[in-house]
Amino acid sequence: MTTIKQRQEELVKEFEFFDEWMDKYHHIIEMGKSLNALPEQKKNDNLLVQGCQSKVWLHAEKSGENILFQADADAIIAKGIIAMLIDVFNNQPAKEVAVANLGFIEEIGLKDHLSPTRANGLMSMIKQMKFYALALTD
């Protein structure tokens, strides 16, 4: 099983492949497209992540020690970003998610490249995921 750290390293490698940010965005969008959509009836307002410019729904549940995430977004770039985060965190021990260091964001240059509002959105997503993880840690 890969760890949170390993998954981040893989992501960084994936993005290193692209020189242009248009291509990186393309990759983010593809990740968004391949994320399983939340069924409509699950998209209730309780799941909305506060602080994103577009709507992002995030659902979490426990599976043994691990935490499982499901998410959706109305804008595809936001969906791609949450897909990346799910890629890193999904089915990892809740207590590790809660304290994880997310170096890949820096390394990919994601935060610098996002607008302040989008960077805020990204931070809100991470906060919400860690919050769930904390809540689900016994």
Query: What one-character DSSP code corresponds to residue 43?
Result: -
Q: How far apart are CA 54 and CA 73, in angstroms?
A: 7
Report whether 124 contacts 52 (CB < 8 A).
Answer: yes
131 lines the binding site for other proteins (CB under 8 A): no
The correct pick among 16, 74, 109, 131 for binding other proteins (CB under 8 A) is 74
17 lines the binding site for other proteins (CB under 8 A): no
Amino acid identity for residue 55 in this structure: K
Question: What three-state secondary structure class fits 71?
Answer: strand
CB of 90 to other proteins, least distance (A): 23
Instruction: Name the phi and psi angles at 3, rounded to 5.
Output: -90, 170
18 lines the binding site for other proteins (CB under 8 A): no
Residue 92 annotated as catalytic: no
- CA 137, 89, 115, 34 torsion: positive or negative? negative
The correct pick among 26, 34, 61, 134 for binding other proteins (CB under 8 A) is 26
Tell me whether residue 58 or residue 79 sits nearer to other proteins (CB atom): 79
25 lines the binding site for other proteins (CB under 8 A): yes
Q: Residues in contact with other proteins, total (CB under 8 A)?
A: 16
Q: Give residue for tokens 């993005």.
A: 15
Instruction: Summarize as ranges the residues that interact with other proteins (CB under 8 A).
Output: 21-22, 25-26, 29, 53-54, 74-78, 115-118
